[in-house]
Amino acid sequence: MADPEPDARPVTLPDDPAERDAVLRERLSPLQYEVTQHAGTERAFTGVYWDCHDEGVYRCIVCETPLFSSDTKYESGSGWPSFWQAIDDGAVETRTDTSHGMVRTEALCATCGAHLGHVFDDGPQPTGVRYCMNSASLRLVRDDGSDTEPTES
C-alpha cells in the first residue's frame, strides 16, 4: 500500500463555527458543501470518482487529510466510489445514523468531521467492508501529480 505523502497543503479552518461555515460555503461547490456539512448524498452515477480508476490518494475535500488509497477502491456497482478499507485506522470515523428511517453507519472524516458517506458490511475480502463514499467529499491527488480540481482563474 502506498504511503501517503506528507501533507503538502495543510488547510486551516477558523474555530468559530459561523466563520468556518462562511469559509466552507465560499470554498466548496454547493454540492460539496451540502454533502460534507449537511450529510447530503450525491446522486448515484453522477459523481466524478465512481468510475475513476486512476492511481492516487483520495483526500478529504474539506481538510485535505488522506482518507483512501486507490489500491482499495473497487467496483461495487453502486454508482458511488467504494473502498474496502480506509488509508489508515484513524482516518475515517464512524457513527450510527438513524436518519431517513434507516439504521446505517455514517462515515466521517476523523480530522474535520466532514460527512463522507456510509459504511456497509457487504464489501469484498479481506475486510468485508464497503465504504460507500460521495465523490463530492473527496479529492483525488493522483500519483502522477495531476489533480481534478478545476483550474482557478
Q: Would you name the residues annotated as active-site residues? A: 132
Residues 28-57 as x/- pattern, contact with Zn ion by CB under 5 A: ------------------------------
Instruction: Please state the closest distance from residue 122 (CB atom) to Zn ion, in A.
Output: 25
- String of contacts with Zn ion for each residue 74-113, x by CB under 5 A: -----------------------------------x-xx-
Strand, coil or helix: what is 110? coil
Nearest approach, Cβ of residue 40 and Zn ion (Å): 16
* Spatial contact of 84 and 75, defined as CB atoms under 8 Å apart: no
Judged by CB, which is closer to Zn ion: 116, or 129? Answer: 116
CA distance 23 to 133: 23
Taking CB under 5 A as the binding criterion, the range among 58-66, 90-98, 116-124, 137-145 that sits at the site for Zn ion is 58-66
* Binding-residue total with Zn ion (CB under 5 A): 8
Backbone angles phi, psi at 35, to 5 degrees: -70, -50
In 10 A of CB 97, how many CB atoms? 17
Question: What Rg value do the Cα atoms of the chain yield, rounded?
Answer: 15
Among 35, 62, 119, 141, binds Zn ion (CB under 5 A): 62
Q: Which of 63, 86, 119, 133 binds Zn ion (CB under 5 A)?
A: 63
- State which amino acid sits at residue 27: R
User: What ranges in the chain are assigned the alpha helix state H?
Assistant: 17-27, 30-38
* Sign of the C-alpha dihedral computed for residues 128, 34, 138 and 134 taken in this order: positive
Residues within the interface to Zn ion (CB under 5 A):
60, 62-63, 65, 109, 111-112, 114
